[in-house]
C-alpha cells in the first residue's frame, strides 16, 4: 500500500482536500463540543452529504469529523464540567478543577497537545498494522467470515453497559431486521411484510440516522439551552507566553501523552472497548506512575493529557479491525463502515491493494486532521465552543431534524428512506425507555448479513453427512473462536479494572 | 423490573412479527434465520423472567435504587415533536420540500420555545426558518445535485 504514497499525498495536499479536512475537523469540533451531540450522531448526519462526493473526499470528511468531534468533547469537559462525548469523562476530572483555578488556557493547551499526539499514534498504528492484518483476511473462507461476524457480535458485551442480556437482545433485533429482503444464498425474498421497497433490505444509513439522532433530539426537547452552566469569563491568559510555557513543559516530558496514546490505540484495536474505557485506563495509569499522584483530581495537567491522548488514539486504533476485517470497533466506526459500503468499498485486503490510493489518502487525512486540531483548538476553540453551547434548543432541534430528513431522502431520492429513518427514531426512543442499548442493534445490522452468508456457504461446502463440522475444522476458525471468547472477557476485565482503580482512589 | 418485563415483551413481540412471515424455500435459508429468531425471543423471555422474579422478590414493591440508570425524554414534548415530524414527511410529497420544511421548522421553534411568545419572536423565528430551509435547499440541489421535491412551486 505504501507504493501509493505519492499519489495519496498528491491527492491529500490539493487545496480542495485540505479545505475538506479543515471544514470537517471544525464541524466535528463543533459537534463534539456540544453536550448531547456525539461523534456517532455527527457522522450519521454527514454520511448522506458524502454521496455527492468521490470516495476519497467523502471518507476524508468523515475521518476528519470523527477526529475533531472526539477532540471537541474535551472543551465542555474542561470549561463547564460537562463532557461533550463519553470519551471525555476522565478529562473533566482534572480539566474542570484547572478551570476553577484559573488555568483553563493551560488545560485546553494540554488537551490539544495530547489529542494531536494520541491521534497521530492511532493513525500510525492504522497505517502499519492494517495491511498485514488485511493480508491475513485473504485466507479467510466462509467459515472464517462466520466466526469473524460472531467475534464482532461479542463486542456487544462491552457495548451493553448494565445488562448483557439486554445488549444481546438489542443485537438480536438488529440481526432480525437485517433478515429483511433477499437471502444472500438462494436469493428468495423474505420478511418484507408485503412492501416491495423492502426487497432490497432495510436501508442501513436511514436506520443509523434515525436510531442515533431522533432519540437524542427528543431528550433535548424541553430544555431552553444545551447547558445551563455559564462559561467562565475569558481569562487574562497572557496570550503567547502561556502557550509557549505550557507547550514547552509538555514537550519536555511527553511520556504521559505518548504512553496514553499507545494505551488508547491498543484498547481501540480491541473491538468494543472504546474511548471511554481507554481514557479511564490511561488516566489511572498516569496517576499510578506519577510522582505526584495526590495532585490528580485537583487540577493536574497530566490527567487531562492522559485522557485526551487515549481517546484520540482510539480513533485510529478502532479503524484497524474495521478496515481489515469489516468489524466496527465502536458505533462511530459502524457509520464509517456504512459510508464505505455506500461508496462501493468493502473492508479487507482489496481496500489496501486495489483501492490503495484512496485508503492511504483516508488514513493520512486523519493524521492531517489530528495536526489541524492544534490551531483550531488553540485559536478558535474557546470562541467556537462558547457559540455552540449557546445555540437555543428551539433552533438546534429543527436544524438537526432538517439535516436528518434531507440526509435520509438523499440516499435514493425516495421518501421511503425518510419514513425508515423516522420509524428507526421511534424504535430508538422505545428502546431507550426500555433501557435496551441501541449500539448493539447497529452491530447486529452490520454483522448479521456477514454471519448469514458465511454460515450458509460453509454449510453448502461442508461434508454432506455433517455440514456443521465445516465451522470447526480450520485452525483459523479455531483462532477466531478463541478471539471471540477473549473479546467477551477483555473489555469486561478492562472496565472492571478501571472502575476498581477509580473507586479505590476516591 | 417493570422495564425488564416490558423489554422482554417488546423483543418477543418484535420477533413474533417476523416469525409469522417465515416462508423459506430451503433448509439452508432456515439454518440461520430460525436460530436468530429463536435465540432473540428466548433472550426476551429470559429478560421477562428476570423482571418477574425481581418483582416477586420485592413483593410487588415499586423499584427504587436497583432500577437501571438513565434519563427518559419528556413524554409530552416527545409526542409533540414526533407529531410535527410525522406531518412534515408527507407534507414534503404534498406541498414540496421548501414549504413543508419552512412550516415544520416554524412550528417546531414555536412549540419548543420556553417562555412568553410574541409576534416579534415569531417573525424572527420565521426569518431563521426561511434562511435555514433556503440554505439546505441550495446546498442539496445546487451543490450536491439532489433533487428535492418542489411541490406546487415547480
Find residue A190's DSSP bridge partners: A181
Name the minimum distance, in Å, from the CA of A136 to any CA of chain B. 26
Please name the helix (run of DSSP H) or strand (run of DSSP E) that holds residue A181, with its range, or none: strand A181-182
pLDDT, tens digit (0-9, with 9 covering 90-100), for A420-479: 999 999 999 999 999 898 888 888 888 888 889 889 888 888 888 888 888 888 888 898
Pairing of strands A189-190, A181-182: antiparallel
Check residue B103 and give its pLDDT: 96
Residues 159-198 on A with a CB inside 8 Å of B are 162-163, 165-166, 168-169, 172-173, 175-176, 179, 183, 185-186, 188, 190-193
How much is the pLDDT for A225? 54
Q: Taking CB atoms and an 8 Å limit, are A190 and B22 in contact across chains?
A: yes
Question: Can you tell me which residue has the cell 457559540?
Answer: A387
- Give per-residue pLDDT as tens, B45-86: 999 999 999 888 877 655 544 444 456 778 888 999 999 999
Q: Which residues of chain B neighbour A19 with C-beta distances below 8 Å? A: none
Q: Which helix (H) or strand (E) holds A45?
A: helix A39-46
ipTM score assigned to the predicted complex: 0.90
Q: Residue A274's pLDDT is what? A: 66
H and E: helices and strands count for chain B: 5, 0
- Cell numbers for A479, please give them: 483462532
The answer to whether A437 touches A161, Cβ cutoff 8 Å, is yes
Residues A420 and A207: beta-carbon distance below 8 Å: yes
Could you identify the residue written with the cell 474557546?
A382
Q: Who among A52, A433, A435 is closest to B145 (CB)? A: A52
Best residue in B15, B29, B97, B104 for a mutation probing chain A (most A CBs within 10 Å) = B29
Nearest residue, CB atoms, B28 vs list A52, A169, A185 = A185
**What pLDDT, on a 0 to 100 scale, did the predictor assign at position B64?**
47
Q: In the predicted model, is pLDDT for residue B16 greater than 50?
A: yes
Residues of chain B contacting residue A149, judged by C-beta atoms under 8 Å apart: none
Q: Which residues of chain A are modeled with pLDDT < 70?
A: 1-3, 35-36, 82, 84, 155-162, 222-240, 271-274, 382, 384-386, 388-389, 491-492, 494-506
Per-residue pLDDT at A494: 64
A vs B: CB pairs below 8 A: 181
Hey, is the C-beta of A374 within 8 angstroms of any chain B C-beta? no
Q: Is the pLDDT of residue B101 over 90?
A: yes
Instruction: Inform me whether the C-beta atom of residue B154 falls under 8 Å from chain A C-beta atoms.
Output: no
The reply to whether residue A169 touches residue B97, judged by beta carbons under 8 angstroms, is no
Radius of gyration of chain B from Cα atoms? 24
Report how far apart, in Å, the C-alpha atoms of B48 and of each of A163, B37, B39 are. 13, 17, 14
B108: nearest CA in chain A?
A398
Nearest to A221 by CA among A51, A396, A94, A483: A396
Identify whether the C-beta of residue A423 lies closer than 8 Å to the C-beta of residue A210: yes
pLDDT digits (tens, 9 = 90+) for A344-362: 788 877 788 778 888 889 9
Q: Chain B window 43-82: which residues touch A at a Cβ cutoff of 8 Å?
A: 43-44, 46-47, 50, 68-74, 77-78, 80-82
Q: For residue A16, which of A75, A60, A71 has the smallest C-alpha distance?
A: A60
B6/A contact by beta carbon, under 8 A = yes
* Tens digit of each residue's pLDDT (9 = 90 or more) over A49-67: 787 788 888 889 999 999 9
Which pLDDT does position A466 carry in this prediction? Answer: 83
Q: Do A221 and B78 touch (CB under 8 A)?
A: yes
pLDDT computed for residue B100 by the predictor: 95
Burial string for A52-80 (b: 16+ CB within 10 Å, else e) reads eeebbbbbbbbbbbbbbbbbbbbbbbbbb
Q: Read off the pLDDT band of B134 (50, 70, 90).
A: very high
On whether any CB of chain B is under 8 Å from the CB of A461, the answer is no
Q: How far apart are CA A379 and CA A239, in angstroms?
A: 10
- Closest CA in chain A for residue B13: A173
Amino acid at each position: 500500500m505504501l507504493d501509493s504514497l505519492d499519489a495519496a499525498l498528491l491527492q491529500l495536499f490539493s487545496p480542495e482536500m485540505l479545505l475538506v479536512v479543515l471544514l470537517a475537523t471544525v464541524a466535528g469540533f463543533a459537534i463534539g463540543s456540544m453536550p448531547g451531540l456525539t461523534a456517532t450522531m455527527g457522522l450519521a448526519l454527514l454520511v448522506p452529504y458524502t454521496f455527492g462526493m468521490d470516495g476519497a473526499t467523502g471518507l476524508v470528511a468523515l475521518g476528519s469529523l470523527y477526529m475533531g468531534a472526539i477532540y471537541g468533547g474535551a472543551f465542555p469537559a474542561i470549561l463547564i464540567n460537562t463532557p461533550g462525548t463519553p470519551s471525555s469523562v476522565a478529562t473533566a476530572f482534572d480539566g474542570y478543577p484547572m478551570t476553577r483555578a484559573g488555568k483553563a488556557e493551560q488545560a485546553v493547551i494540554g488537551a490539544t497537545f495530547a489529542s494531536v499526539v494520541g491521534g497521530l499514534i492511532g493513525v500510525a498504528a492504522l497505517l502499519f498494522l492494517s495491511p498485514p492484518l488485511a493480508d491475513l483476511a485473504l485466507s479467510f473462507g466462509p467459515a472464517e467470515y462466520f466466526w469473524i461476524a460472531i467475534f464482532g457480535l461479542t463486542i456487544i458485551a462491552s457495548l451493553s453497559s448494565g445488562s448483557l442480556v439486554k445488549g444481546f437482545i438489542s443485537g438480536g433485533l438488529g440481526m432480525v431486521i437485517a433478515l429483511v429482503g433477499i437471502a444472500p444464498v438462494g436469493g428468495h425474498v423474505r420478511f418484507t411484510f408485503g412492501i416491495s421497497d423492502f426487497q432490497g433490505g432495510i436501508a442501513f444509513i436511514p436506520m443509523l440516522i434515525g436510531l442515533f439522532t431522533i432519540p437524542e433530539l427528543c431528550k433535548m426537547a424541553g430544555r431552553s439551552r444545551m447547558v445551563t452552566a455559564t462559561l467562565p469569563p475569558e481569562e487574562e491568559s497572557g496570550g503567547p507566553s502561556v502557550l509557549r510555557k505550557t507547550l514547552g513543559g509538555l514537550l519536555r516530558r511527553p511520556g504521559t501523552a505518548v504512553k496514553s496514546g499507545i494505551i488508547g490505540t491498543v484498547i481501540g484495536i480491541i473491538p468494543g472497548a472504546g474511548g471511554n474505557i481507554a481514557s479511564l485506563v490511561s488516566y489511572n495509569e498516569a496517576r499510578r506512575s506519577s510522582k505526584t499522584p495526590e495532585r490528580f483530581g485537583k487540577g493536574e495537567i497530566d490527567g487531562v493529557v492522559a485522557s485526551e491522548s487515549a481517546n484520540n488514539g482510539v480513533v485510529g486504533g478502532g479503524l484497524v479491525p474495521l478496515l481489515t476485517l469489516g468489524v466496527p470497533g465502536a458505533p462511530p466506526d459502524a457509520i464509517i463502515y456504512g459510508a464505505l459500503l455506500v461508496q462501493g468499498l468493502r473492508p479487507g485486503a482489496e481496500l489496501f491493494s486495489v483501492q490503495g490510493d484512496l485508503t492511504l489518502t483516508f488514513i493520512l487525512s486523519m493524521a492531517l486532521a489530528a495536526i489541524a486540531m492544534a490551531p483550531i483548538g488553540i485559536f478558535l476553540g474557546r470562541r467556537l465552543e462558547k457559540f455552540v453551547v449557546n445555540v437555543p434548543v428551539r433552533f438546534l432541534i429543527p436544524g438537526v431534524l432538517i439535516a436528518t430528513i434531507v440526509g435520509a431522502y438523499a440516499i435514493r431520492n425516495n421518501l421511503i428512506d425518510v419514513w425508515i429513518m423516522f420509524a428507526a427514531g421511534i424504535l430508538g426512543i422505545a428502546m431507550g425507555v426500555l433501557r435496551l442499548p441501541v449500539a448493539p442493534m447497529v452491530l447486529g445490522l452490520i454483522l448479521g448479513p456477514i454471519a448469514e452468508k458465511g454460515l450458509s456457504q460453509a454449510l453448502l461446502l461442508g461434508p454432506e453427512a455433517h455440514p456443521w463440522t465445516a465451522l470447526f475444522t480450520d485452525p483459523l476458525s479455531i483462532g477466531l473462536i478463541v478471539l471471540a471468547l477473549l473479546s467477551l472477557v477483555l473489555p469486561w476485565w478492562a472496565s472492571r479494572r478501571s472502575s476498581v482503580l477509580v473507586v479505590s482512589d476516591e | 423490573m417493570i422495564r425488564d418485563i416490558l423489554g422482554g415483551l417488546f423483543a418477543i413481540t418484535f420477533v413474533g412479527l417476523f416469525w409469522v412471515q417465515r416462508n423459506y424455500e430451503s433448509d439452508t435459508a432456515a439454518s440461520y434465520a430460525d436460530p436468530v429468531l429463536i435465540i432473540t425471543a428466548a433472550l426476551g423471555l429470559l429478560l421477562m423472567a428476570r423482571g418477574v422474579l425481581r418483582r416477586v422478590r420485592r413483593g410487588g414493591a415499586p423499584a427504587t435504587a436497583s432500577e437501571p440508570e438513565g434519563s427518559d425524554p419528556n413524554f409530552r414534548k416527545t409526542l409533540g415533536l414526533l407529531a410535527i415530524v410525522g406531518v412534515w414527511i408527507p407534507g414534503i410529497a404534498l406541498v414540496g420540500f421548501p414549504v413543508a420544511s419552512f412550516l415544520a421548522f416554524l412550528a417546531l421553534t414555536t412549540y419548543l420555545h420556553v417562555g412568553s411568545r410574541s409576534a416579534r419572536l415569531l417573525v424572527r423565528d420565521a426569518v431563521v426558518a426561511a434562511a435555514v430551509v433556503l440554505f439546505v435547499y441550495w446546498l442539496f440541489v445546487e451543490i450536491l445535485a439532489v433533487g428535492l421535491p418542489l411541490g406546487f412551486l415547480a
